[in-house]
Amino acid sequence: MITPEELFLQRRKFMKLGIGASVAPFLIDSLMAQTSFGAPLDYLPQSSSLKPTKEEHATSYNNFYEFGFGKNDPKANSKHFAPSSWKIQITGEVQNPMQIELEDLLKKVKLVERIYRLRCVEAWSMVIPWIGFELRELLSLVKPTAKAKYVKFTTLFDPSLFPAQKALFSSIDFPYVEGLRLDEANHPLSILAVGMYGKTLLPQNGAPIRLVVPWKYGFKYIKSIAKIELVSERPISTWEKQNPREYGFYANVNPDVPHPRWSQASERVIGERGRQRTLYLNGYDKEVGYLYDGLNPKKLY
């Protein structure tokens, strides 16, 4: 269990480490604003039993194809990623569309820390202490219309920042796209993360803002988001488009539905010896299981 004192120290560290990093000042402002209003960072009760993965693993073993396809590429190739500001557009079926600097957005939401399991479709896992805010807070700011059924997310397309976006032929289409059903997006476990391990997100982890949906495979956790659209039709996400037989829209963690080329029954725990059993919905069945009543996981994987 993290004590308030550790939390306080962590928060100080978060603020301190933010200074000097290119996309960080807004985080510091936001945290300071929250401190003065006294809003507490909150915790999921069950997260206290999870042991976070070593930070060095979580920041050096990554998937972020905009920086290359190898696990070490994102860290190695993102050293010059330094956008001077970051705008997010929230548009589509909403009453209040907005184009907002992340710095300003963070003044309107409450930052929380959430320690979540992360399960990649490649059958490895980590535990990450995220800092972010609930996606439903953002949705309530823009007010989805009655036509909004899904949320579509798009990574920034800017080859000057993401070297692999320059390639004429790539095995995946850029920009990276992901989506959620509106009720999934409104679930309190769905967050937009701006930090981890008490610090501002590093480029390789999806700076300055990325999605985190802990009951789904990691490829849903779209990084470096520039656009969020509320739409009436189900969006086709990047991996589904690339290979629909192997990757579905739902991507709910399920030990009983194997990937066509490997089992999903167990997972390699990064930084630990051996494997562990994979849990249905990555251990979040109690919280989100009701969202999938009546859905056939073998068809809608």
State yes or no: residue 155 binds ligand MTE (CB under 6 A): yes
Nearer to ligand MTE, 33 or 50 (CB): 50
Q: Does 133 bind ligand MTE (CB under 6 A)?
A: no
Please say which residue, 145 or 243, places its beta carbon nearer to ligand MTE: 243
Tokens of 16: 């301190």
Sign of CA dihedral 75, 80, 83, 84: positive
Asked if 282 and 212 touch (Cβ cutoff 8 Å), the reply is no
Site for ligand MTE in 224-243 (CB under 6 A): 224
Instruction: Pick the piece of the chain touching ligand MTE (CB under 6 A) from 32-40, 187-195, 219-227, 268-276.
Output: 219-227
Distance in angstroms (rounded) separating the CA atoms of residues 209 and 296: 32
Q: Is 43 helix (H, G, I), strand (E, B) or coil?
A: coil
65 binds ligand MTE (CB under 6 A): yes
**Nearest distance in Å: CB 198, ligand MTE:** 16
Minimum CB separation of residue 247 from ligand MTE in Å reads 9
Asked if 250 is part of the footprint of ligand MTE (rule: CB under 6 A), the reply reads no
Of 34 and 282, which has the nearer Cβ to ligand MTE? 282
223 binds ligand MTE (CB under 6 A): yes
Site string for ligand MTE, 181-210 (x = CB under 6 A): ------------------------xx----
Q: Tell me whether residue 68 or residue 144 sits nearer to ligand MTE (CB atom).
A: 68
Closest CA to 77 of 170, 161, 17: 161
* Alpha-carbon gap, residue 227 to 179, rounded angstroms: 12
Tell me which of 66, 184, 229, 240 binds ligand MTE, using CB under 6 A.
66
- SS3 assignment, position 151: strand
Residue 156 within binding range of ligand MTE, rule CB under 6 A: no
CB of 88 to ligand MTE, least distance (A): 14
Q: DSSP secondary structure string, 80-106?
A: T---S--EEEEEESBSS-EEEEHHHHT
Closer CB to ligand MTE, 15 or 164, in the complex = 164
- 78: contact with ligand MTE by CB under 6 A: no
Q: Left if phi > 0, otherwise alpha if psi is -120 to 50, otherwise beta: which for 296? A: beta
**Under rule CB under 6 A, how many of the chain's residues touch ligand MTE?**
16
Interacting residues of 278 by C-beta distance below 8 A, sequence separation 6+:
119, 123, 125, 253, 255, 264, 265, 266, 267
Q: Which stretch binds ligand MTE (CB under 6 A): 14-22, 59-67, 82-90, 263-271?
A: 59-67
Q: Which residues pair with 115 in a beta bridge?
A: 129
Q: Whole-angstrom Cα distance, residue 213 to residue 220? A: 7
Binding site for ligand MTE (CB under 6 A): 62-66, 120, 155, 176, 205-206, 218-219, 221-224
